[in-house]
Amino acid sequence: MTTNKSVLAWIEEMKNLLNPDKVVWIDGSEEQLEALRKEACETGEMIKLNEEKLPGCYLHRTRENDVARVEDRTFICCRDEKDAGPTNNWKNPQEAYQMLFDIARGSYKGRTMYVIPYSMGPVGSPLAKIGYEVTDSIYVVLNMSIMTRVGTAVEEVLGDSEDWIKGLHAMCDVDPEKRYICHFPEDNYIISVNSAYGGNVLLGKKCFALRIASYLGKCEDWMAEHMLILGIENPQGEIKYVTAAFPSACGKTNLAMLIPPESYRNKGYKVWCVGDDIAWMRKGPDGRLWAINPENGFFGVAPGTNEKSNPNALASTKKGTIFTNVALNLDDNTVWWEGLDKNPPEHAIDWKGNPWNGKESTEKGAHPNSRFTAPAKNCPCISSEFNSTSGVPVSAIIFGGRRATTTPLVYQSRDWNNGVFVGSIMASETTAAATGAVGVLRHDPMAMKPFCGYHMGDYFGHWIEMGKILGDKAPKIFNVNWFRLDEDGKFMWPGFGDNFRVLEWIIKRCEGKADAVETPIGYLPRPEDINLEGLDMDMETLKKILTVDNEKWTAETKEIEEYYKIFGDKLPAELRAELEGLKERLAK
Ligand code: GTP
Ligand code: SPV
Ligand code: MN
């Protein structure tokens, strides 16, 4: 336990507010965690899985009404409503505190208050930041212990400093009508009530590492982004790092752990995973942009994860993992989800807790947003730089979304500002990662629509500013789309491991070693610039997904014009100029 006065004062305040029967400080020891796992199994909060097949693994089911992030109940509470911007819900901070404290008051009665000191980023890294989360959920403690670095070592690094983030989580009655996920960027405060699901309650993740951190980044000249980080090693042993921002459930974990196609592996190419969801990036002493992954584990989408699509993710879940809302196979006490294999269990319990026969049932065994919480160190391709306190240098930044039409497989922006424009016009079909309709096209600039803690127009301005700070050392910016569909609704690009073929072109472009054709939207590879060796794909299809459809893009510019209106005079002039430039080039 710490002697930090600011921490102790806040914990005292929380005790008085929440009225727990007892207070437990999480020290990060295996002993303490093991005792908590036992307790959670005794109360039914978690189910211990087959120790031989899945050592140290557990299953947890949330309430049926608590299975994803709730964007309509997520708020930015800053003094001036204008600072939250058009893409966020806003509440007045004083009113929000009052309402949330009223909801949480006394709700720990008869329960334990767990105090979790945690570091986002390697403990002691100059790029890392520290938070405290109080919670009444063992599930949260155990997940935070996988997803972040927790315990005494963190408190030692913090010392007497007041530079830390407050996080209050209270399960209350898990009442969806009283569920609120609130952020106070001006106070470094997060309050989450009436949920017990992932992104709503593991406060280090989306709440801190993106919503609060994006605001801090703007104030302190760095960037907090919804990006994976991966290293690509060539046969000479040189490693180049790229980051990629895709919206939720659009392929970050898959790309981050990709296994190159056989022809590349034979030549000696390798991919190393640094992170699968969040990147914190800052200008380094050498002038380049350096990135760390603030997390310590993967909170990955389970459905669709299998031996073929993502063997590294699957391997990561084989020990010390918590599964949430997947099916329980009663025959051998293991787990199953749609897309794991073609052999669903007959004797099983579905994610809702009901008996389930996977061979006969038309219902899903696992929720589409069911997840695994796996320690990063389990990943067979984890980067040797994963714990590096200085991070890795970024050569390229990739944007991407789920677009059935219009957006080609890959293109390179004309320059940094044009790249910022490319990120700002990102649109993607919605997924099960948030509640609401799935498959609806919506704008999701830089994949940050649900995660930007301040005015999105100012955020664009911050990107433009970072370009000035980085100058000619700025990473090159690209856009990809793995999700083009043909007339029959089939994916036109094989995706997954074969995405390496696109990464190769991207890296070569960064090194000035690959050709491209200039189009109105940016630089595209010629079909012959994408290596199809060992791939059963016809040139015609590749040509189609490497074509810029003038008509569709002209319609897109009209749509962007409309969308940009929501930012009013906060839209940087640079982006307005980029849009005009695109319109002109398309009209030629
Ligand atoms: P969050 O954890 O929500 O941020 O999601 P994510 O961006 O990490 O997405 P993830 O890698 O878990 O992939 C989500 C879904 O997209 C899975 O069902 C994958 O099977 C599918 N997917 C991922 N990569 C590809 C791809 O290259 N092609 C196709 N067709 N599907 C993909
Ligand atoms: C996402 O939705 O982008 C996730 C899952 O990574 S959650 O932690 O729930 O936000
Ligand atoms: Mn995510």
| pLDDT for 1 beyond 90 | no
Number of domains the chain is built from: 3
Are 30 and 88 found together in one domain?
Answer: yes
Are 310 and 281 found together in one domain?
Answer: no
Confidence band, pLDDT 50/70/90 cuts, at residue 521: very high
Q: Is 370 in the pocket of ligand 1 (CB under 6 A)?
A: no
Q: What is the CATH number of the domain that holds 352?
A: 2.170.8.10
- From the CA of 588, how far away is ligand 1's center (Å)? 37
For 102-136, the pLDDT digits (tens) are: 999 999 999 999 999 999 999 999 999 999 999 99
Asked if 46 and 60 count as a contact pair (C-beta separation under 8 A), the reply is yes
| pLDDT for 210 beyond 90 | yes
Are 261 and 192 found together in one domain?
Answer: no
What are the residues whose beta carbons fall under 8 Å from the beta carbon of 269, sequence distance 6 or more?
232, 233, 234, 235, 260, 500, 504
CA dist., res. 413 & res. 446, Å (int): 14
pLDDT average, residue stretch 562-571:
98
pLDDT average, residue stretch 214-222:
98
Name the closest-CA residue to atom 13, ligand 1. Answer: 251
Q: What is the CATH number of the domain that holds 523?
A: 3.90.228.20
Burial class (CB in 10 A: 0-12, 13-18, 19+), 569: exposed
The residue from 57, 207, 250, 379 that is catalytic is: 250
Residue 523 lies in a domain: yes
Residue 485 lies in a domain: yes
Range of the domain at 194: 5-43+69-220
For 46-85, the pLDDT digits (tens) are: 999 999 999 999 999 999 999 999 999 999 999 999 999 9
Residue 578 lies in a domain: yes
Domain stop point among 163, 186, 220: 220
Confidence band, pLDDT 50/70/90 cuts, at residue 176: very high
Q: Is 62 in the pocket of ligand 2 (CB under 6 A)?
A: no
SS3 44: coil
Are 546 and 511 found together in one domain?
Answer: yes
Are 576 and 428 found together in one domain?
Answer: yes
CA dist., res. 144 & res. 94, Å (int): 29
Asked if 574 and 417 count as a contact pair (C-beta separation under 8 A), the reply is yes
Are 289 and 393 found together in one domain?
Answer: yes
Task: Give the per-residue pLDDT at 301.
Answer: 97
Are 541 and 436 found together in one domain?
Answer: yes
Are 254 and 188 found together in one domain?
Answer: no
* 253, 398, 541, best to mutate for ligand 1 pocket (most atoms within 8 Å of CB): 253
- From the CA of 495, how far away is ligand 1's center (Å)? 10
CA angle 329, 330, 336 (to 5 degrees): 5
Are 286 and 310 found together in one domain?
Answer: no
SS3 20: coil
Is 250 an annotated catalytic residue? Answer: yes
Task: Give the per-residue pLDDT at 269.
Answer: 98
pTM as predicted = 0.98
Asked if 459 and 218 count as a contact pair (C-beta separation under 8 A), the reply is yes
Residue 493 lies in a domain: yes
| pLDDT for 207 beyond 90 | yes
For 344-365, the pLDDT digits (tens) are: 999 999 999 999 999 999 999 9
Are 338 and 464 found together in one domain?
Answer: no
For 289-338, the pLDDT digits (tens) are: 999 999 999 999 999 999 999 999 999 999 999 999 999 999 999 999 99
- Picking from 187, 191, 242, 240, the residue whose alpha carbon sits closest to that of residue 216 is 187
| pLDDT for 414 beyond 90 | yes
Q: What is the CATH number of the domain that holds 162?
A: 3.40.449.10
Are 31 and 74 found together in one domain?
Answer: yes
Residue 93 lies in a domain: yes
Residue 51 lies in a domain: no
pLDDT average, residue stretch 214-229:
98
Domain stop point among 171, 200, 220: 220
- State percent of the chain over pLDDT 90: 100
Domain stop point among 378, 412, 440: 378
Looking at every residue in the chain, the average pLDDT score rounds to: 97
Are 278 and 359 found together in one domain?
Answer: no
Residue 153 lies in a domain: yes
Q: Tell me the torsion sign for CA atoms 524, 528, 530, 532.
A: positive
Task: Give the per-residue pLDDT at 377.
Answer: 98
- From the CA of 402, how far away is ligand 1's center (Å)? 10
Asked if 281 and 289 count as a contact pair (C-beta separation under 8 A), the reply is yes
Task: Give the per-residue pLDDT at 574.
Answer: 98
Burial class (CB in 10 A: 0-12, 13-18, 19+), 176: middle
* 205, 226, 253, 254, best to mutate for ligand 1 pocket (most atoms within 8 Å of CB): 254
